[in-house]
Amino acid sequence: MDEIIVAKVQQAVGLLQEFNLPVWIAQFARETHDHPEPVQHLVVGTSVTWPAAFVIAADGTTTAIVGTGDVANVRDVGVYSEVVGYVQDVGPPLRALIEKLNPSSIGVSFSRSDDSADCISYGMYLLLEECLRGTRWVTALDPAEKVLGALRARKLPVEVERIRQAIRLTEEMFVAIEELLRAGITERKLYVAIHDMMREAGVTPAWDERYDPVVNFGPESKFGHAGPEERELEPGMLVHIDFGLKFDGYCSDLQRMWYVLRPDEGEPPQAVRDAFQAVLTSMRAGVAALRPGVAGWEVDHAARRVLISADYEEPAFALGHQLGQICHDGGALLGPRWPRYGMRPLIAVEQGNVFTVEYALQTPAGIIGLEEDVLVTSNGAEYLSNLQADLRCLRL
Amino acid sequence: MDEIIVAKVQQAVGLLQEFNLPVWIAQFARETHDHPEPVQHLVVGTSVTWPAAFVIAADGTTTAIVGTGDVANVRDVGVYSEVVGYVQDVGPPLRALIEKLNPSSIGVSFSRSDDSADCISYGMYLLLEECLRGTRWVTALDPAEKVLGALRARKLPVEVERIRQAIRLTEEMFVAIEELLRAGITERKLYVAIHDMMREAGVTPAWDERYDPVVNFGPESKFGHAGPEERELEPGMLVHIDFGLKFDGYCSDLQRMWYVLRPDEGEPPQAVRDAFQAVLTSMRAGVAALRPGVAGWEVDHAARRVLISADYEEPAFALGHQLGQICHDGGALLGPRWPRYGMRPLIAVEQGNVFTVEYALQTPAGIIGLEEDVLVTSNGAEYLSNLQADLRCLRL
């Protein structure tokens, strides 16, 4: 991980220059093993126990101020050129550093819109204000969400390569999963089998293991983030799996599906075929609209209107999210301009962003849901996954 | 885990009555798989993706307001009697709930002093203020640190039992560890062997696996939170191990040590024996002072002055922390009144608290460090671990 952290800290220095932010307190937190900050795996590289500040300046200097017990641990990471230990109070050394850097403003990692850029706790924010009390910097604290959003969203080649590997491994597992779709399989058995595959491959779920993978058999299965049930696979059911894994620190996130033919059926029912095509057409419209410079909501809208104009129920969620160290990564979001998503649908897509593209519909046979992962290129988007363009059919 | 969460939510209702807090927004957060809030495993029980509020009222009502995609997942936990799903904006249903409850004040989970009670991010705090804008509650948000501190610190019998089990397992592993202290063993080999033991037992480290366990051989080894090195065990060295594990959701945290006799030695050098006795005497003085009603700093002081008056270097850290779901659990801290520890050394010890008691000294042969886990009883403290009262000696 340290190679990535060195590269991302270097990238952050460039972003501070680009966004005219002289100093960024990237992390100001404590006990970050028990509650890791979203920024920890990006530019810090280890956990700390006592209140600690990780400060990156636009001139390239990097300083960590940590409790003495954490000094060895932070030096081991080897990213911060200066590691200052303190015993009683983080305030004086932090204040001394800010006085030395003497910035016009200070970026702090918080954001109303972007959870992945919203790192500092409210208590630590109050503590930071207290550390700077009486100085002009107490009123010069700005959200660093633009820097942190861009830092997450503009993937380095080494990051894209790790995401590609995670996707490749997931697709291999989907081949093995199809083999398990036989008479007698239940949602829970399949879920357990997929967890076994991950354990064997030495990888972990990309999101909460309680509902990664989501496994849905047929129309009674729970939509959304829900764990598996004892439901057995039967003819006439759609199989829908939403599955992501984390490999070498980076995530995949894919949805794949199948239809189980009834003995008398030669193909899925018309309504199911129509819904599959509608979701596929809608997603393709989104991918066609995806290129640098467009706002996230425009991409969502291009896809969303296909479903709405075909009289399907409007999806209650976004078309896609960025993908990276965390499954719902920061920066632009391909979603509607709903308060739930804050300002993120207004952010412009950039080259080097990696997005999921996903929509789903409920049908009488179950959930039609597809999800692909794509990389934004200089003038469009490239699929990182092998698009599921056909509704595969099975017989039990 | 859900049995604990049901019990802790019930305990929280009692604490809200005791502390005269009518309503507590226990968690207001998003994407809590990637960055879990400290309160999640205590009173929530699952992760959520979109902004979600978990609200506990002193009248016993419990309400979760979550994005529709998280409804199934939160209902599965089965703790919150009402689970409200929203599509576009968490604000209106949250405001409606507050209007219905109509409290005089609202507790929010933040704290400058206590990281385990400092849950809400600054961005989410701003979002909460925005949700309540124009109402009288925007100025009625109070830190719920007393409620949350007491909820963590007052262990239920089922919690104490789980901690006991974690300690028992750790002590069994220390027996196996002693067997490995042979010629040729290095810090790293021992660290790896302990990780293998944990994997085999199906348990995880209690803190960051990079430095749990801390393994120190001799005087050159790094003090504090540091990973193992290639250093080989040699005669004349102290072996010091700081090791905790999490079993069934609850932590242990113990330090054990040995001295490796040189061929010509019959016992450890005088300075080493003296330092061991000083640490032991000091810790015992702390445990003797530990009882309901005393402030945390007084217990630390009782132990600290033993070392200081014997002319040893003053420890740069606290005598002890609470132990629970997280290794550094909330509430009173047995530490000096340094800004680093906030107000926590001023909090009174209570019956049912579980603390570590730990001090360490550097000697010419390495680190002398001991740590025991104790339960506060009605009139004193009971050791949950088997006190290491002797410096065990080995020959390679």
d(CA B296, CA B291): 10
A-B CB pairs within 8 A amount to 196
d(CA B314, CA A52): 22
pLDDT at A2 over 80: no
Cα distances (Å, whole numbers) of residue A3 to A44, A63, A158, B216: 12, 18, 9, 27
Average pLDDT in the B128-134 region?
96
For residue A154, give the nearest of A350, A327, A298, A297 by alpha carbon. Answer: A350
pLDDT tens across A372-392, in order?
999 999 999 999 999 999 999
Contact call for A340 and B125, based on CB within 8 A: no
Query: Does the distance separating the beta carbons of B50 and A116 come in below 8 Å?
Result: no
Q: Is the Cα dihedral A222, A394, A253, B195 positive or negative?
A: positive
Query: What's B315's DSSP letter?
Result: P
The number of residues in chain B equals 396
Which chain A residues are closer than 8 Å to B123 by Cβ?
110-115, 117-118, 143
In this predicted structure, the answer to whether residue B1 has a pLDDT above a threshold of 60 is no
Q: Residues of chain A with pLDDT > 70: what percent?
A: 100
Residues of A in contact with B73 (CB under 8 A): 208, 210-211, 224-227
CB contact under 8 A, A73 and B126: no
Q: Which of B121, B227, B339 sits opposite A121 (nearest CB)?
A: B121
A260 pLDDT band (50/70/90 cuts)?
Answer: very high
Please answer yes or no on whether A69 and B224 come within 8 Å at the CB atom.
yes
Residue of B nearest to A47 (CA): B208
Q: Distance between CA A183 and CA A136 in Å, rounded?
A: 70
Nearest CB to B316: which of A31, A87, A207? A87
* Confidence (pLDDT) at B38: 84
CB contact under 8 A, B69 and A316: yes
CB B148 within 8 A of CB B8: no
Q: Which of A139, A81, A141 is nearest to A110 (CA)?
A: A141
**Pairwise CA distance, residues B324 & B167, whole Å:** 11
- Cβ within 8 Å, pair A122-B127: no
Using only the alpha carbons of chain A, give its radius of gyration.
23
CB–CB of B125 and A122 under 8 A?
yes
A230 backbone φψ class: left, alpha, beta (φ>0; ψ -120 to 50)? alpha
Encode pLDDT of A271-320 as tens digits.
Answer: 999 999 999 999 999 999 999 999 999 999 999 999 999 999 999 999 99
Q: Do B124 and A130 touch (CB under 8 A)?
A: no
Tell me, what's the ipTM?
0.89
- pLDDT value for B226: 82
- Residue B256: name the closest of B168, B166, B387 by CA: B387
Give the one of B110, B123, B126 whose C-beta lies nearest to A123's C-beta: B110
Judged by average pLDDT, the poorest of B224-228, B244-248, B294-298, B377-381 is B224-228
pLDDT surpasses 80 at B85: yes
Inter-chain CB proximity B72 and A339 less than 8 Å: no
Q: Find out whether B126 and B133 touch, Cβ atoms under 8 Å.
A: no
> Helix or strand or coil: residue B264?
coil
Query: Residue B202: its pLDDT value, please?
Result: 94
Q: Which of A41, A89, A225, A323 to mutate to test the interface with B (most CBs of B within 10 A)?
A: A225
Nearest-Cα distance to chain B for A317, in Å, is 8
| Model pLDDT for residues A17-56, shown as the tens digit of each residue | 999 999 999 999 999 988 888 899 999 999 999 999 999 9
Separation of alpha carbons A154 and A17, rounded Å: 15
Task: Quick: pLDDT tens for B33-53.
Answer: 888 888 999 999 999 999 999
Q: Is B183 exposed, middle or buried (0-12, 13-18, 19+ CB in 10 A)?
A: exposed
Which amino acid is present at B152? R
Of B76, B130, B210, the CB nearest to A227: B76
3-state SS, residue B313: coil
Would you say residue A1 has pLDDT above 60? no
Give contacts of B44 with chain A, Cβ < 8 Å: none
What is the rounded average pLDDT of the residues A188-214? 95
Searching chain A, which residue's CA lies closest to the CA of residue B111? A123
Complete DSSP assignment for A83-121: EEEESS-SHHHHHHHHHHH--S-EEES--SS-GGG--SB
Best B28, B118, B343 member to test A by mutation, with max A CBs in 10 Å, is B118
**For B199-249, how does the pLDDT look when each residue is reduced to its tens digit (9 = 90+)?**
999 999 999 898 999 999 999 998 877 889 999 999 999 999 999 999 999
Among residues B167, B36, B189, B21, which one has the least CA distance to residue B107?
B21
Give the long-range contacts of residues A386-392, CB within 8 A, separation 24 or more: A386/A171, A388/A256, A388/A257, A389/A280, A391/A257, A391/A258, A391/A259, A391/A268, A391/A272, A391/A273, A391/A276, A392/A178, A392/A257, A392/A258, A392/A259
pLDDT for res A383: 98
Q: Which residues of B touch A122 (CB under 8 A)?
A: 108, 110, 118, 120-122, 124-125
| Cα–Cα distance for residue pair A324/A33, rounded to 1 Å | 20
Chain B hits for A47, Cβ within 8 Å:
207-208, 210
Average pLDDT, chain B: 95
Question: b/e for A335-346, b at 16 or more Cβ within 10 A?
Answer: bbbbbbbbbbbe
3-state secondary structure B191-215: HHHHHHHHHHHCCEECCCCCCCCEE
Q: Do A224 and B71 touch (CB under 8 A)?
A: yes
Assess contact for B83 and A234: CB atoms under 8 A: no
Contacts A89 to B, Cβ<8 Å = 338-340
Residue-level pLDDT at A3: 87
Q: Output the pTM of the full model.
A: 0.90
CA separation for the pair B214, B222 (Å, rounded)? 9
Are A254 and A385 spatial neighbours (Cβ–Cβ below 8 Å)? Answer: yes
Nearest residue in chain B measured CA to CA from A207: B33
Query: How big is the CA angle at B239 (ends B245 and B272), to the nearest 5 degrees?
Result: 130
Contact list in A for residue B337 (CB cut-off 8 A) is none
Interface touch A31/B326, C-beta < 8 Å: yes
pLDDT digits (tens, 9 = 90+) for B136-186: 999 999 999 999 999 999 999 999 999 999 999 999 999 999 999 999 999
Residue B241 Cα, gap to closest chain A Cα (Å): 15
For B239, the 3-state DSSP assignment is strand
Peptide bond into B36 cis (omega under 30): no
Cβ of B225 within 8 Å of Cβ of A69? The answer is yes
Selected for mutation to probe chain A from B27, B30, B34 (highest A CB count within 10 Å) is B34
Q: Check residue A222 and give its pLDDT.
A: 86
Per-residue pLDDT tens over the stretch A96-105: 999 999 999 9
pLDDT of residue A218: 97
Cβ contacts of A20 within 8 Å, gap of 6 or more: none
What does the pLDDT read at residue B35?
82
Task: Report CB contact under 8 Å: B328, A31.
Answer: yes
Residue B109 contacts residue B118 (beta carbons within 8 Å): yes
d(CA B269, CA B238): 11
What is the pLDDT, as a whole number, of residue B315? 92
For the residues B47-73, what does the mean pLDDT come to?
95
Could you give the dihedral angle defined by the CA atoms of residues B314, B320, B321 and B326, in that order, rounded to the nearest 10 degrees?
Answer: 100
* Interface contact flag, B123 A116, Cβ < 8 Å: no
**Amino acid residing at B69:** G
Please report residues of B whose CB lies closer than 8 A to that of A35: 35-38, 115, 119
Would the pLDDT of A321 be above 60?
Answer: yes
Is the Cβ pair A34, B328 closer than 8 Å? Answer: yes
In angstroms, what is the C-alpha Rg of chain B?
23
Question: What are the pLDDT digits (tens) for A118-160?
Answer: 999 999 999 999 999 999 999 999 999 999 999 999 999 999 9
Closest CA–CA distance from residue A379 to any residue of chain B (Å):
31
Nearest CA among A198, A244, A239 for reference residue A373: A244
CA–CA min distance B372, chain A (Å): 19
Q: Which residue of A has its CA nearest to B338?
A: A88
